[in-house]
């Protein structure tokens, strides 16, 4: 475990050596040499750490050796970063003050030199003592050489569901029968069992069962978790029961729990609903939610998963919980084979007898838990030597670790150090929290966990790291993007428990609000405040303790009604500060003193004004000021943030001139007003990869296209326009030779001709453009197009795709096309189509006939469609998709709601017709 900590410090020391802060001060001649010497020593010591980490559990002397080494490594980081903070503070002073501070600089220099000297001596003593404890050099680390191969396997087909499940068919059918039993009362059906036994997996199969989809016209799935937030659960249900706009989402975030409960009840009142409450722990959690679920005697159901039988029995005394047992020997072995062997090699006859004997002993150690079998199977895939893994498990067993704990610990120990630190970072997210990968990657980079690989940008390296963790089954994918990248993820409770336990020891993590309310020790480096109580006196609690915090993160604080009086004067070494959803309207001027800060998130706070000192944050990489419900005053200091990589701005930001064109590292800029951009020399933003722009004055859009035409890294462009006034001519798009992803949201009279789109366009999203004419004759001529998404984009009745068109299209998504009755596809069209998604197309009668000839099709997803359409899909139209491995149906439109939406559709028809007459 010290291996991960020391590896992290080594990388940070390397970064410190090239920082301008150190290089610019001439009289620091010896300090960089001392830092380099310290780094070299740590690299030498690191060779022994993997062995020491594995031995420390049953050897107190080695454990003490590892602890001393880790403390010394962190101490060196603290000394150097504290020195940088002090030098930066002096650097901000005027010329006269600088001259008077010269002696103080020399004193700081002398002290840091002596401190590094002292730490170096301490580490040399530690290093010399290793032979006393029998710590020998062990070269190499985990199986990181498989990284590229793992990523290729993961990305080969993100649309394919896990087919390696075993022994679930009979259990699924039994639970489906329970859900559909003829009992009109609202009942609670439950699955109970120990952690890692597969409760969520089984519930998911039941949830997506064809008979369940047919029976219930409204379904929702929410995670409850140990720390139940009724507000978050209720908001999650509302989002799934009814599609939300940005504005309505903002309103939901600010609503009281009682109002949300009433809203859920009203929305479910006339529906036959199924709501899954996954991972509920306590009776109190059920008490806080139960009133939201009306009993209107129409056969509605709740499906609950829990580790404890007492909870479902409390919720419904008449329903017998379904107890999920561990896998038997046969099923456990089959699951292991599917995970451990290369694809297609699942027969026992493929294994030599000696390897099969070892494999069976490994499976035996897993105690029949699917999670343990899956994780250990992935660990073994590609390993030629299984006996060493068995020996490790046997060793863990002898130390008292049983079953899944031993397996997960072995999987963690097998990780290379760069993956260990990434895995441990999941400890900072609450249990069952769905993590946006955008946020995860920004935090990883700010913490120094991601290192440059050749010319590859850090964000792409971070995506590769996540892919490796996903493939090892240590991280679960919650949602994919259309182009096959992980959009959001989470970790299983048991794996999070492992991450928390390791992070508390390795990274000195402290979590407030879960199992502990005591404030952190002076060693704490990462503080997660999860679900603040009204009694929390922040920052007053730190008056007697000032830990060297590197990250301060708040979760589940939206429900705290009192305003937080923020102060950061004591935390000068912070790198990550996340205040998302915090009830605060003021960001103190002292924020500018956090000169090492790299990540600042103010999303969904109530801050109305940012201080001028924001411009002092020279190391800031990510600034998220996506603030809801108010106009935010941003001073014109952003141009000073030379290391800024990602800037997120809410579209309601106050219209003041903002200079950006000095930010040569800026990769992401969302969602800024066009008038603000025009005043900048956009061609200087050479690192820009994604740009989101609100178009107000249509006459200036051509200036935008001219100014960004030469940005070679700009691959993703988002154009937004609100109100009833449409976009102007978009002919200038043809000049954007490097743009591959384009999203247009807002009214559009007609599409540009094919040659007026970006020539290399591969991903196109059209939203709320409400075209009267079929867009397909134009779009099918975009030869590089592989992803096409149409949402509220077409008001006509037919989409017609010509023969042999869309040769490279892999993903087609059609959403909220209210008049669409039929989709006609010519022979040989879309030969590469892998994923088709149809959502909220209320008038569509059936799937197109030509789907049955599309052999590449892997996934058909149907969301919120009329019951008649779904009945045809599973009945007379089933032959059209019988070759498709994954058919997912979620949500069914209620006939009453459908009538309302059809009324809206008829109004929209009239509007479009009037528009045509006046044009």
Which of 189-193, 225-229, 708-712, 848-852 is the least confident region?
225-229
User: Is the predicted pLDDT of residue 20 greater than 60, yes or no?
Assistant: no
User: Is the predicted pLDDT of residue 555 greater than 60, yes or no?
Assistant: yes
Rounded distance between C-alpha atoms, residue 622 and residue 446, angstroms: 8
pLDDT at residue 140, rounded to an integer:
43
Which range scores top for mean pLDDT: 277-291, 328-342, 796-810, 861-875?
A: 796-810
Span 512-530, average pLDDT:
74
pLDDT at residue 145, rounded to an integer:
42
466 compared with 510, residue with greater pLDDT: 466
pLDDT at residue 127, rounded to an integer:
75
pLDDT at residue 782, rounded to an integer:
96
Rounded distance between C-alpha atoms, residue 494 and residue 193, angstroms: 14
Span 34-42, average pLDDT:
72
For 536-544, the CB contacts below 8 A with 24+ separation are 536/512, 536/560, 538/564, 538/565, 538/566, 539/565, 539/566, 539/567, 539/568, 539/570, 542/570
User: Is the predicted pLDDT of residue 644 greater than 80, yes or no?
Assistant: yes
pLDDT at residue 652, rounded to an integer:
57
* Helix intervals (H) in 699-830: 701-708, 776-779
Rounded distance between C-alpha atoms, residue 655 and residue 617, angstroms: 23
pLDDT at residue 400, rounded to an integer:
56
Which of 63-67, 781-785, 863-867 is the least confident region?
63-67
Span 238-261, average pLDDT:
81
pLDDT at residue 138, rounded to an integer:
47
- Bridge partners for 530 per DSSP: 555
pLDDT at residue 915, rounded to an integer:
35
Helix H or strand E encompassing 901: helix 895-918
pLDDT at residue 910, rounded to an integer:
32
pLDDT at residue 163, rounded to an integer:
56
Span 753-765, average pLDDT:
96
Task: Record the tokens describing residue 11, joined without a space.
Answer: 């990388």
Rounded distance between C-alpha atoms, residue 523 and residue 525, angstroms: 6
pLDDT at residue 95, rounded to an integer:
45
Span 53-74, average pLDDT:
73
pLDDT at residue 80, rounded to an integer:
80
pLDDT at residue 141, rounded to an integer:
44
Rounded distance between C-alpha atoms, residue 604 and residue 554, angstroms: 12
Q: Please give the C-alpha separations between residue 775 and each of 230, 449, 556, 916, in angstroms, as whole numbers.
A: 44, 45, 44, 16
903 compared with 11, residue with greater pLDDT: 11
When pLDDT is cut at 50, 70 and 90, the band that residue 46 belongs to is: low
Helix H or strand E encompassing 395: helix 387-398
856 compared with 10, residue with greater pLDDT: 856
Rounded distance between C-alpha atoms, residue 743 and residue 720, angstroms: 8
* Helix intervals (H) in 143-242: 147-155, 169-180, 199-207, 210-215, 230-241
When pLDDT is cut at 50, 70 and 90, the band that residue 907 belongs to is: very low
Helix H or strand E encompassing 891: strand 886-893
Span 90-103, average pLDDT:
58
Rounded distance between C-alpha atoms, residue 744 and residue 716, angstroms: 11
Are residues 403 and 365 in contact, defined by beta-carbon separation less than 8 angstroms?
yes
pLDDT at residue 206, rounded to an integer:
93
Q: Please give the C-alpha separations between residue 260 and each of 134, 222, 225, 378, 771, in angstroms, as whole numbers.
A: 61, 15, 19, 42, 36
pLDDT at residue 402, rounded to an integer:
58
Rounded distance between C-alpha atoms, residue 917 and residue 919, angstroms: 6
When pLDDT is cut at 50, 70 and 90, the band that residue 334 belongs to is: confident
799 compared with 271, residue with greater pLDDT: 799
pLDDT at residue 749, rounded to an integer:
85
Rounded to a whole number of angstroms, the CA Rg of the chain reads 29
pLDDT at residue 418, rounded to an integer:
87
Nearest C-alpha neighbor of 139 from the set 67, 49, 69, 53:
49
Are residues 381 and 340 in contact, defined by beta-carbon separation less than 8 angstroms?
yes
Span 774-793, average pLDDT:
96
pLDDT at residue 686, rounded to an integer:
94
pLDDT at residue 566, rounded to an integer:
72
What are the pLDDT digits (tens) for 340-399? 875 444 444 467 777 788 888 888 878 888 888 888 888 787 666 777 777 777 766 655
What are the pLDDT digits (tens) for 789-824? 999 999 999 999 999 999 999 999 999 999 999 999
Which of 84-98, 626-640, 840-854 is the least confident region?
84-98
When pLDDT is cut at 50, 70 and 90, the band that residue 208 belongs to is: confident
User: Is the predicted pLDDT of residue 916 greater than 50, yes or no?
Assistant: no
When pLDDT is cut at 50, 70 and 90, the band that residue 22 belongs to is: very low
User: Is the predicted pLDDT of residue 26 greater than 50, yes or no?
Assistant: no
When pLDDT is cut at 50, 70 and 90, the band that residue 75 belongs to is: confident
What are the pLDDT digits (tens) for 571-586? 899 999 999 988 888 8
Task: Record the tokens describing residue 607, joined without a space.
Answer: 């801050």
When pLDDT is cut at 50, 70 and 90, the band that residue 674 belongs to is: confident
User: Is the predicted pLDDT of residue 158 greater than 60, yes or no?
Assistant: no
Are residues 719 and 694 in contact, defined by beta-carbon separation less than 8 angstroms?
no
pLDDT at residue 695, rounded to an integer:
86
User: Is the predicted pLDDT of residue 173 greater than 80, yes or no?
Assistant: yes
Report residue 27: phi and psi, to 5°. Answer: -80, 15
What are the pLDDT digits (tens) for 608-618? 889 999 999 99
What percentage of the chain exceeds 70 in pLDDT? 78
Q: What angle do CA 796, 797, 798 make, to 5 degrees?
A: 105
For the chain, the first-to-last Cα distance in angstroms comes to 70
154 compared with 195, residue with greater pLDDT: 195
Q: Please give the C-alpha separations between residue 190 and each of 71, 178, 877, in angstroms, as whole numbers.
A: 47, 10, 33
pLDDT at residue 699, rounded to an integer:
64
pLDDT at residue 61, rounded to an integer:
74
Helix H or strand E encompassing 745: strand 741-745
Span 74-82, average pLDDT:
84
When pLDDT is cut at 50, 70 and 90, the band that residue 780 belongs to is: very high
pLDDT at residue 21, rounded to an integer:
45
User: Is the predicted pLDDT of residue 862 greater than 90, yes or no?
Assistant: yes
Task: Record the tokens describing residue 247, joined without a space.
Answer: 């504005």
Rounded distance between C-alpha atoms, residue 794 and residue 769, angstroms: 7
Task: Record the tokens describing residue 519, joined without a space.
Answer: 């404030």
Span 831-856, average pLDDT:
95
DSSP code of 51? H
Rounded distance between C-alpha atoms, residue 510 and residue 500, angstroms: 9
Average pLDDT, the chain: 81
pLDDT at residue 821, rounded to an integer:
97
């Amino acid at each position: 475990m010290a291996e991960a900590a020391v590896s992290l410090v080594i990388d940070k020391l390397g970064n410190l050596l090239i920082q301008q802060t150190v290089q610019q001060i001439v009289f620091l001649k010896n300090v960089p040499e001392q830092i380099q010497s310290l780094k070299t020593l740590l690299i030498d010591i690191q060779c022994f750490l993997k062995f020491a980490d594995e031995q420390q559990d049953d050897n107190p002397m080695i454990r003490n050796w590892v602890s001393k080494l880790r403390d010394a490594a962190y101490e060196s980081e603290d000394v150097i970063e504290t020195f940088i903070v002090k030098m930066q503070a002096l650097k901000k002073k005027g010329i006269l003050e600088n001259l008077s501070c010269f002696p103080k600089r020399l004193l700081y220099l002398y002290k840091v030199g002596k401190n590094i000297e002292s730490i170096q001596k301490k580490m040399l003593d530690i290093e010399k003592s290793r032979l006393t404890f029998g710590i020998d050099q062990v070269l190499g680390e985990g199986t990181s050489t498989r990284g590229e191969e793992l990523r290729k396997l993961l990305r080969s087909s993100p649309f394919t569901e896990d087919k390696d499940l075993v022994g679930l068919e009979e259990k699924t059918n039994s639970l489906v029968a329970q859900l559909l039993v003829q009992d009109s009362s609202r009942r609670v059906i439950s699955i109970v069992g120990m952690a890692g036994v597969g409760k969520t997996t089984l519930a998911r199969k039941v949830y997506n069962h064809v008979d369940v989809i047919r029976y219930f016209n409204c379904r929702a799935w929410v995670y409850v978790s140990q720390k139940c937030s009724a507000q978050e659960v209720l908001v999650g249900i509302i989002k799934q029961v009814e599609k939300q706009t940005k504005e309505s989402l903002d309103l939901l975030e600010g609503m009281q729990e009682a109002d949300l409960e009433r809203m859920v009840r009203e929305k479910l009142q006339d529906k036959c609903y199924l709501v899954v409450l996954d991972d509920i722990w306590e009776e109190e959690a059920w008490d806080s939610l139960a009133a939201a679920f009306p009993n209107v005697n129409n056969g509605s159901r709740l499906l609950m998963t829990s580790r404890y039988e007492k909870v479902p029995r409390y919720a419904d005394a008449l329903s017998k919980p379904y107890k999920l047992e561990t896998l038997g020997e046969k099923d456990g072995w089959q699951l292991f084979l599917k995970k451990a062997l290369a694809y297609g090699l699942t027969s026992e006859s493929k294994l030599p007898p000696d390897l099969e004997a070892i494999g069976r002993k490994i499976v035996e150690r897993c105690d029949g838990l699917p999670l343990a079998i899956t994780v250990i199977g992935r660990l073994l895939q590609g390993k030629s030597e299984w006996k060493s893994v068995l020996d490790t498990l046997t060793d863990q067993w002898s130390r008292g670790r049983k079953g899944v704990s031993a397996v997960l610990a072995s999987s963690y120990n097998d990780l290379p150090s760069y993956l260990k630190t990434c895995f441990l970072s999941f400890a900072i997210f609450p249990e069952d929290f769905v993590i946006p990968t955008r946020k995860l990657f920004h935090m990883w980079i700010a913490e120094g966990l991601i290192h440059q690989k050749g010319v590859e940008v850090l964000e792409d390296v971070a995506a590769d790291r996540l892919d490796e963790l996903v493939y090892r089954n240590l991280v679960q994918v919650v949602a994919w993007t259309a182009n096959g990248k992980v959009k959001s993820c989470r970790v299983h409770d048991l794996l999070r428990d492992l991450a928390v336990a390791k992070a508390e020891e390795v990274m000195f993590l402290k979590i407030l609000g879960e199992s502990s309310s005591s404030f952190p020790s002076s060693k704490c480096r990462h503080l997660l405040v999860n679900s603040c109580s009204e009694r929390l006196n922040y920052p007053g609690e730190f008056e007697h303790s000032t830990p060297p915090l590197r990250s301060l993160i708040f979760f589940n604080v939206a429900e705290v009604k009192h305003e937080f009086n923020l102060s950061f004067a004591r935390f000068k070494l912070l790198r990550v500060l996340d205040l998302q959803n915090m009830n605060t309207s003021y960001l103190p001027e002292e924020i500018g003193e956090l000169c090492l800060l790299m990540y600042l998130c103010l999303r969904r706070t109530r801050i109305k004004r940012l201080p001028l000192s924001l411009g002092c944050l020279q190391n800031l990489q990510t600034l998220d000021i996506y603030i809801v419900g108010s106009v935010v005053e941003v001073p014109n200091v952003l141009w000073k943030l030379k290391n800024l990589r990602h800037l997120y701005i809410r579209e309601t930001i106050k219209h003041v001139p903002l200079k950006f064109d000095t930010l040569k590292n800026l990769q992401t800029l969302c969602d800024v007003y066009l008038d603000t951009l025009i005043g900048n020399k956009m061609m200087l933003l050479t690192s820009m990869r994604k740009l989101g722009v609100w178009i107000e004055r249509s006459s200036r859009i051509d200036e935008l296209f001219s100014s960004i035409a030469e940005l070679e890294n700009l691959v993703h462009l988002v154009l937004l326009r609100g109100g009833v006034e449409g976009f102007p001519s978009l002919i200038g798009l043809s000049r954007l030779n490097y743009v591959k992803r384009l999203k247009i949201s807002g009214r559009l009279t007609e599409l540009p001709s094919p040659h007026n789109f970006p020539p290399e366009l591969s991903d196109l999203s059209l939203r709320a453009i409400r075209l009267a004419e079929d867009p397909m004759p134009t779009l099918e001529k975009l030869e590089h197009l592989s992803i096409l998404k149409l949402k509220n984009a077409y008001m006509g009745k037919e989409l017609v795709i010509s023969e042999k068109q869309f040769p490279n299209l892999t993903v087609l998504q059609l959403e909220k096309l209210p008049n669409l009755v039929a989709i006609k596809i010519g022979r040989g069209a879309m030969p590469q189509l892998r994923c088709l998604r149809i959502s909220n197309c209320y008038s569509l009668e059936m799937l197109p006939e030509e789907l049955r000839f599309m052999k590449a099709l892997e996934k058909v997803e149907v969301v919120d469609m009329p019951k008649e359409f779904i009945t045809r899909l599973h009945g007379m139209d089933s032959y059209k998709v019988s070759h498709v491995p994954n058919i997912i149906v979620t949500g069914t439109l209620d006939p009453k709601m459908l009538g309302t939406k059809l009324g809206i559709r008829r109004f929209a028809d009239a509007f479009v017709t009037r528009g045509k007459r006046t044009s």
